[in-house]
Structure 1
Amino acid sequence: MSGQRRQEIVIVGGGLAGASAACVLGRAGHSVLLLERDPEPRHKVCGEFLSIEAQTYLAHLGIDLDLLGASRISRLRLFHREKRTETDLPFLARGLSRKALDEALLQRAMALGAEVARGVAVRTISSEESSHQVDASPFGTVHADSLFLASGKHDVRGARRPTSGSMNDFIGFKMHYRLSEEQRAALDGTIEIILFDEGYAGLQLIEDDIANLCLVVTRQRFETIGRSWDSLTEQIALECPPLAETLRGAAMLFDKPLSIFQIPYGFVHRPDTTEPQGIFRLGDQIGVIPSFTGEGMSMALHSGCLAATTYLRLGRRSTSFHQQMAADIRGQIRLAFLLNKAARQHLGQAAIFHLCRTWPSIMRQVASFTRMREASMQRALVPP
């Protein structure tokens, strides 16, 4: 399988950003090679919350969420200690596992003409003015006219992100549960946000009535409790009795939690006019919004669609894409970054909860302020 190969477009990474770009480019008739390091579909650390914007992109790409069994979510419930408040969401959200969604997008990309190579690890990338060389084991060396870098939070040697200024001391965890019938019914239609010391969690149903608990915690607190998932969840349950009640008798569906370290919250790629043209950074390679907003999946899809549309309009002018993408997401990420900074401390959490309980509409406003703007979406969705 190893050797030399020339390719018009290479996409590194088959997650939401990479697969969405492959769909748009394949549908337009371009020669696309997508390299995915995982040989089989797998779960990923993610809240698995699909905002109305994310749903719009998925419909544009031909993904049927009803066919995939996505849950429906219409309410937001916020917990701090034993207290709670809730409100209606400003839209109908959906819940679907990344394992199911990513696979559906990859299958869609292949149906639209993209070539997908699984189990291919990209080791290094080197760029010149007119092309990019990708060292992909065991695929060999690929010379790409244009490169779409969608490797998520993992950097590739030769194309690392400068993430200085971001908040990268959080650890993310995820566990799927099978709840009791009573607790499943209580959670149905709702996403719960749980504030706890030095972190927060989100709990919602996805397909097949499975509950997804996704949380972030500071590295310091995780180390203080002994670097143990069981100890962490026990401590959170003590701080938030309603969560303990929800998980009582629940069956864990993974042998151990999925985890990811050093999440660079607040990162936005700064366009560099000296960077070689034809390398497009997508998804977490261009911006990382704190997970409590539920907009990470939408931004990933937006980046994939916008990058592909920019390529169809302007060719290899990736700087134009980076400038537009930064303008589209910078404000939302900055606001979420500030809220995330406040929410990591007890006093900040108490203040946020007090405001939300006193004026529940604030929760809806925050949800609206961190969403993708309609004008930004139109640039990515309107055919060139």
Structure 2
Amino acid sequence: MQDVIIIGGGLAGLVSALELARAGHAVTVVERKTYPFHKVCGEYVSNEVKPYVESLGVDLAGLGATTINRFQVSAPSGRLLESKLDLGGFGISRYRLDYELYQLGLLAGVQFQLGKQVDEVQFADNRFAVTSSDGITLSSRLVLGTFGKRTKLDKTLNRAFMQQPSPYIGVKYHVRVDLPDDVIALHNFSDGYCGMSAIEAGSYCVCYLTTRTNLRQHGSIPAMEEAILYQNPHLRSVFTSAQHLYDKPEVINEISFAPKRAVENHILMVGDSAGLITPLCGNGMAMAIHGAKFASELSGAFLRGQLTRQQLEQQYQRGWSQRFARRLWVGRTVQKLFGKPWLTEAGAWAFGVFRPALRTVMRQTHGDVINV
């Protein structure tokens, strides 16, 4: 019997596991991949979590994290706007950051079940039974769902957002390219946008969101990029000059930005499992880390007998909404201004005329610095 089983070993899962294990609880993480590995992710992190991440024992400077303090956005025509990031952030790959947290988790006594996928979670008699793809069932007092954007388990749990097919796909590369390392840029194109920011070792993360329709029309990712993304001169310049650091991009299908419940079948959902912010506004990594800290604090109180399960679930749902619901709403609202070329051009023009509005939007998608 474990105190906690965490399904998914991304940022939310690793931070939660580390905090709970250091508090003396028996924690098992089930992750379908083996570390280190790449993930489709923008790899920009708001400074709201920087002191907290470093307090966990992560040496961001030693890992080569970049400092980001400027934001750029371009319309499909290439019209470019720039704004200062009031809080700022840093750039680091999931490949490196997740692996560092995994190593810290091992030192803290976290048990990892790697290369396994959870097929079913049952709750009865105030206990969970978690069955993985190899047929092994583990039991625990608590389960955290940190399994990301969209998985088989979401379907098994009959989560509402799974009833709404999503048209979006995400594509990510690591490249070397001659661009400033203190900027996060978001370049728009027809039915999509591409985020770019510097990460460690002189590399750049290039991650874009588009639709399956764009891909179907052109038959392959390279053909789609040349036909659609290259219409934006900034993207054409990057894609034609960059040195790609791995042969094939990371790709994920059916990314959903629909609202999600933070508690499902008594499972506390953390990170993207609880709600996904649009890439246009970024900051999903910071939200996952922030959410994991909150979830682990409440989970610890429950495991120590200070909260009933009902109190735990009510406080978590309410607290999660207070921290993140507005950010997600702002992201979904702003996203409607982008995608279609004419609307994106109009949005860029409006933000160009009313420049303080752009900084206001960015502030609305960033939280306060976490007290350590």
TM-score by length of 1: 0.88
1:191 equivalent to 2:184? Answer yes
Q: 1:208/1:166 Cα in 2 relative to 1: closer, same or farther (>3 Å)? A: farther
Q: Cα distance, 1:361 vs. partner?
A: 2.6
Shift, 1:313, TM fit: 2.1
Report the count of equivalent residues: 362
Q: Compute the displacement of 1:116 (Å).
A: 1.9
Q: Is the 8 A contact 2:270 2:292 kept in 1?
A: yes
Q: Equivalent residue for 1:242?
A: 234
Q: Does the CA-based 8 Å contact 2:48-2:87 persist in structure 1?
A: no
| In 2, Cα distance between equivalents of 1:160 and 1:244 | 41
Aligned partner of 1:17 in structure 2 is 12
Match of 1:31 in 2: 26
Q: Does the CA contact (< 8 Å) of 2:262 and 2:268 recur in 1?
A: no
Please show how residues 152-171 of structure 1 align to structure 2 within 5 Å: 152-153=148-149, 154-156=151-153, 158-163=156-161, 168-171=166-169
Asked whether the equivalents of residues 54 and 297 of structure 1 are also in contact (C-alpha less than 8 Å), the reply is no
Matches within 5 A, 1:180-219: 183=178, 186-219=179-212
Q: Distance in 1 between matches of 2:353 and 2:221?
A: 34
2:224 is aligned with 1:232: yes
State the one-letter code of the partner of 1:17: A
| 1:3 matched residue in structure 2 | none
Query: Hey, what does 1:309 align to over in structure 2?
Result: 297
Shift of 1:234: 1.1
Deviation string, structure 1 residues 174-214 (Cα, Å, up to 9, x no partner):
011122xxx2xx33211111011111011111111111110
How far apart are residue 40 of structure 1 and its match?
3.0
Task: Report the alpha carbon displacement of residue 242 of structure 1 after superposing the two structures with TM.
Answer: 2.3
**Residues 1:271 and 1:30: Cα distance change in structure 2 (over 3 Å):** closer
* Maintained 8 Å contact 1:8/1:32: yes
CA offset digits 1:27-51 (Å, max 9, x no partner): 1111111112112311000000011
Question: Given the alignment of the two structures, is residue 94 of structure 1 paired with residue 90 of structure 2, yes or no?
Answer: yes
In structure 2, give the amino acid aligned to 1:37: R
**Aligned-pair distance for 1:342?**
2.3
CA distance in 2, matches of 1:152, 1:291: 15
Q: State the shift of 1:129 in Å.
A: 4.0
Which digits, 9 at most, give the CA deviation of each residue in 1:199-251, with x for residues without a partner? Answer: 1011111111111110001222222222x111222124431112222333322
Judged with a 3 Å threshold, the aligned counterparts in structure 2 of structure 1 residues 129 and 351 are, in CA distance, closer, same or farther, namely farther
> Contact (CA 8 Å) 1:77, 1:84: kept in 2 or not?
yes
For 2:105, the equivalent position in structure 1 comes to 109
Deviation at 1:348, TM superposition (A): 2.3
* CA deviations over 1:246-283 (Å, ceiling 9, x no partner): 333322122211111111113231657xx44xx21111
Report the TM-score when normalising by structure 2.
0.91
Aligned partners of 1:252 and 1:32: how far apart in 2? 38
Change (3 A) 1:237 1:345: closer
In the alignment, does 2:119 pair up with 1:123? yes
**Which region of structure 1 is more displaced relative to structure 2, 238-247 or 16-25?**
238-247
Distance 1:103 1:341 in 2: 35
Gaps of 5+ in 1: 1-5
Residue 160 of structure 2: SS of its match in structure 1?
A: coil
> 1:269, 1:326 within 8 Å by CA — same for their partners in 2?
no
Preserved CA contact (<8 Å) 2:271 2:291? yes
Q: In the superposition, relative to structure 1, how do residues 129 and 352 fare at CA in structure 2: closer, same or farther (>3 Å)?
A: farther
1:291 partner SS = coil
Deviates more, 1:312-321 or 1:346-355: 312-321
Would you say 1:134 and 2:139 are equivalent positions? no
- Say whether the 8 Å CA contact 1:167–1:266 is kept in structure 2: no
Unaligned segments of structure 2, at least 5 residues: 304-308
- Structure 1 residues 102 and 160: CA distance shift in structure 2, 3 A: farther
Whole-angstrom distance in 2 between the partners of 1:137 and 1:299: 29
Structure 2 CA distance for aligned equivalents of residues 299 and 270 of structure 1: 13
Percent same amino acid among aligned pairs? 28
